[in-house]
Structure 1
Amino acid sequence: MRMVDIIQAKRDGLALTKEQIDFVITGYTRGDIPDYQMSALLMAIYFKDMTPVEIGYLTDAMLHSGDVLDLSAIPGIKVDKHSTGGVGDKISIPLAPLVAAAGAKNPMISGRGLGHTGGTLDKLEAIPGFDVDLSEADFINEVTQIGTAITSATGNLAPADKKIYALRDVTATVEAIPLISSSIMSKKLASGTDGLVLDVKTGNGAFMKTEARAAALAQALVRIGHLAGIKIIALITDMSQPLGYAIGNALEIAESIDILNNQGPADVRELTLTLGSYMLMQAELADDLSGARHILETRLADGSALAKFKEMIIAQDGDASVVDDPTKLPQAKHAIQVLSGQAGVVTGMDTDQLGIASMILGGGRQKKGDVVDPAVGLMLHKKIGDSVANGELLATIYAEEPQRQDVVDMVTGAIHIGDAASAPELIHQVIE
């Protein structure tokens, strides 16, 4: 079998066989296939697409390119959630202890951020001492005992994906749905989950800017999950403005604590409850969404979800006192006010720009290896549809410097004020 023949077949729009795809993934992971040939194949896939069967073969080959976690020692149905990411997306942090407090087993392997704000692991590391690098044994033990754990990838999960993703990033092939979907699902299936709820974002702060593209990705992900024999559902949710008000690692931890205190922003609460309800149904702990939601609302109201978060922090060597006193989280030296220059209504937000503003402050990474400052970020005071008076506070910038006019200008330019607007729908579609 020759790589050049496989490239030619895909260039000409032919479907690749399982044997051809296995040959490519095995050879590239071992280093037998050079980057220039893999780049050619990725570009051919970008232009010629792949059938659902091909995508299934590709996901399976990437899944088995390394370790597959065996979570059979954890009793019950294991359920997880994955988000395609966005600005202010801290949902995993309140969601994990909430579903665990309701009795679900939630092993969550998360990542770091590159660009915009930090990833889930970066946010959790804003908690003093919190260890996100659990051994496989400790990860399994914590999920068994507490019901959840959030950690970085253990062992050698889907190494083919790591190599291919790095190549996609420099060959302008990141947006190809077969490559996105196989990347996401190879890692999730390798993590050993039985059920998966997907949060696919759409809007100007999302990877998939249009709802049609988001739906196509969601459908591809759901098909892969069905082929793999797991329970799976995808929600397409809004990212035309940040989730919640906080953008930045420690700020988002504090907002997550508000949610677990049965308070916090309405959109973060609603999405946490909705995703959690589907997870409880997959775990067979509720018969329908309303019953699942009632269980979760009860766990928020009686304090058990907050107590579960403390348990999780302690188990991962963090300082759980931040739950009762969020001022113990890292604090920026300066708070800079961003005021409105006109009266009206917030009609829209350049969500990407707000994420980039937080990144420039040090809240995210411009390149791999950059150190994230957990204290910096933005706190919005308005959302789309809110009225604004001239001179009213739009946002607060938390920075290490007393003046950041560059960031003030970015934030001012990203919040659009006009005559009228209504809040966008949070949940656009559910794809089963």
Structure 2
Amino acid sequence: MPLIPNLIKKKRDGEALSDEEIAAFVQAVTHGTIQDSQIGAMLMAIWQRGMAVAETDALTREMMSSGEVMSWPKEWAGLVVDKHSTGGVGDKVSLVLAPALAACGCKVPMISGRSLAHTGGTLDKLESIPGFNIQQSTHQILEILGSVGCCIVGQTELLVPADRVLYAVRDATSTVDSLPLITASIISKKGAESLSALILDVKFGRGALYKNLHDARELAQSLVRAGNGLGIRTGAVLSFMDTTIGRCVGNSLEVIESLEALKGNGPEDLMELVSTLGAALLLMTGLVPELSEGRRRVSEAVTSGAALTRFRAMMEAQGVAAETAQTLCSPHADYHRVLRKSIYQTELKTPGDGLVLDVDGLALAQVLHKLGSGRSRAGQPINHSVGAELLVSLGQRVRRGIPWLRLHYEDPAPSPDQMDRLHNALVLGPDYNSQSQQAHTLVKELLLPN
């Protein structure tokens, strides 16, 4: 067994680690036979020196194998799929996509996360529904997939335990933004799901982890290569993330918008992402011969009501009372009979006449985070009712004094500085701006395996 200090020194000096050395490091992390300071030193060495493709692949494999690897019935072969997003503002895609894919014949064991910095977490959104239980055992996941076709759950204790340790230290040592560490973290968890196909929504822009297309493409290519290296048919979408996805930001509000989307009333940008990501998965599983047919199938699953039926069944299978699920899924639902509504709402008015050229999604998300919609540390409680509704669209001509944003808040109330930041998030202009038109089309590139 190689000595950990020797491995740290080797990577610090820019040398490549062997498969055996990477296995020794991951095993020490998993079994707790390594000091936190040594983990931090190794992560910083990787952050500074990087990793070759072979090293990243070995790290991904070893992390995947550090805990339980799920297995599925033989009759599901080729049909088990999942999606991962690098995080955005108002990103509620999973809530619509998972049941739509189940309605198309896929099995979707969607293992999701919580809010991170300004980006919302899928699990936090679902927990705004009374009774929704995101903690399910492997056996329960198998049962739900058998009866419903999809579930959205948190990472189980037995799945990739090495990643939980490494991520906590990465966060504490400012090594989160390392390409090989990001790749290994994401793909090891997806590999442990024993997926047939995986689609990655890698975002770029003001509200994303990566601010430009070049850096996002580099991450997407790394993830796609690593996923396919594990035998998972893996593709990626590069999508624009400057403003918000849809019109709502905040946990309860995003659940409402997702339910409206499942009832056929979804905003165009949200449905573009759902149909594109879903079509890519249907193509990679062989359920459709081309992307256009995949988009049609996903859209039909939504417009027919089949996806809504699956979402209702998923809610009930994950602990939501049947009456609650029925209320939320009814055609003219009074959502706030079930979902928490904020005590206070206030509307922001447009400062003048003009065209809506931009809405700064990052500014909205960061203010909402401070008002309680997100958390600054693990385990911190959040307020599901805090959020914002965008009342105008990019490219829309507006008059002075009309409401453009409805803010939902409780305690704390927004400060004058936060209100100023929200007001400044809206950009109006006198002439039509081509960028505002482009922002309606979020998908920039699609990377699929050969």
For the 8 Å contact 1:205–1:352, the answer to whether it is kept is yes
For the 8 Å contact 2:371–2:413, the answer to whether it is kept is no
Q: Secondary structure at the match of 1:262?
A: helix
Which residue is 1:364 aligned to?
374
Which residue is 2:193 aligned to?
191
Q: Which amino acid aligns with 1:100?
A: A
For the 8 Å contact 1:334–1:401, the answer to whether it is kept is no
For residues 195-235 of structure 1, give each alpha carbon's deviation from its aligned partner in whole angstroms, at most 9, with x where no partner exists. Answer: 10110011111111111111111111011111101111011
Which residue is 1:134 aligned to?
136
Pair 412,27 (structure 1): closer, same or farther in 2 beyond 3 Å: same
The alignment status of 1:399 with 2:401, answered yes or no, reads: no
Which residue is 1:417 aligned to?
428
Which residue is 1:90 aligned to?
92
Alpha-carbon offset, residue 40 of structure 1 = 2.0
For the 8 Å contact 1:195–1:230, the answer to whether it is kept is yes
Separation in 2, partners of 1:209, 1:277? 26
Separation in 2, partners of 1:400, 1:13? 51
The alignment status of 1:342 with 2:355, answered yes or no, reads: no
For residues 303-342 of structure 1, give each alpha carbon's deviation from its aligned partner in whole angstroms, at most 9, with x where no partner exists. Answer: 1111111111111121212122223321112210111223
For the 8 Å contact 2:224–2:235, the answer to whether it is kept is yes
For the 8 Å contact 2:371–2:411, the answer to whether it is kept is no
Which residue is 1:408 aligned to?
419
Separation in 2, partners of 1:118, 1:428? 22
Separation in 2, partners of 1:332, 1:243? 21
Q: Which amino acid aligns with 2:443?
A: I
Q: Which amino acid aligns with 2:128?
A: A
For the 8 Å contact 2:371–2:412, the answer to whether it is kept is no
Alpha-carbon offset, residue 250 of structure 1 = 0.9
Q: 1:381 aligns with which of 380, 384, 391?
A: 391
The alignment status of 1:427 with 2:448, answered yes or no, reads: no
Separation in 2, partners of 1:9, 1:384? 52
Q: 1:249 aligns with which of 236, 240, 251?
A: 251
Separation in 1, partners of 2:181, 2:398? 43
Give matches, 1:26-425, under 5 Å.
26-72=27-73, 75-76=76-77, 77-318=79-320, 319-320=324-325, 321-324=327-330, 325=333, 326-328=335-337, 329-400=339-410, 404-406=414-416, 407-420=418-431, 421=433, 422-423=436-437, 424=439, 425=441
Separation in 2, partners of 1:353, 1:430? 28
Separation in 2, partners of 1:117, 1:227? 29
Q: Which amino acid aligns with 2:194?
A: G
Alpha-carbon offset, residue 410 of structure 1 = 2.6
Q: Which amino acid aligns with 1:351?
A: G
Pair 243,2 (structure 1): closer, same or farther in 2 beyond 3 Å: same
For residues 44-72 of structure 1, give each alpha carbon's deviation from its aligned partner in whole angstroms, at most 9, with x where no partner exists. Answer: 21122111111000011111111212223
For the 8 Å contact 1:247–1:355, the answer to whether it is kept is yes
Separation in 2, partners of 1:367, 1:293? 38
For the 8 Å contact 2:107–2:150, the answer to whether it is kept is yes
For the 8 Å contact 2:242–2:362, the answer to whether it is kept is no
Q: Which amino acid aligns with 2:295?
A: R
Alpha-carbon offset, residue 2 of structure 1 = 2.1
For the 8 Å contact 1:81–1:108, the answer to whether it is kept is yes
Separation in 2, partners of 1:333, 1:200? 35
Alpha-carbon offset, residue 401 of structure 1 = 5.4
RMSD of aligned Cα (Å): 1.7
Pair 117,330 (structure 1): closer, same or farther in 2 beyond 3 Å: farther
For the 8 Å contact 2:12–2:49, the answer to whether it is kept is yes
For the 8 Å contact 1:111–1:119, the answer to whether it is kept is yes
* Range with bigger deviation, 152-161 or 396-405: 396-405
Q: Which amino acid aligns with 1:96?
A: A
Separation in 2, partners of 1:410, 1:369? 28
Give the % identical residues: 38
* Range with bigger deviation, 145-154 or 109-118: 109-118
For residues 351-385 of structure 1, give each alpha carbon's deviation from its aligned partner in whole angstroms, at most 9, with x where no partner exists. Answer: 22211122122211122221121112011123443
TM-score (norm 2): 0.92
Q: Which amino acid aligns with 1:116?
A: H
For the 8 Å contact 1:106–1:148, the answer to whether it is kept is yes
Separation in 2, partners of 1:370, 1:45? 30
Alpha-carbon offset, residue 3 of structure 1 = 2.1
For residues 160-203 of structure 1, give each alpha carbon's deviation from its aligned partner in whole angstroms, at most 9, with x where no partner exists. Answer: 11111111112121111001110111111112211101100111
Pair 74,202 (structure 1): closer, same or farther in 2 beyond 3 Å: farther
* Range with bigger deviation, 301-310 or 171-180: 301-310
For residues 140-163 of structure 1, give each alpha carbon's deviation from its aligned partner in whole angstroms, at most 9, with x where no partner exists. Answer: 111111111111112411111111
Q: Secondary structure at the match of 2:265?
A: coil
Q: Which runs of 5+ in 2 are unaligned?
A: none
Separation in 1, partners of 2:424, 2:66? 46
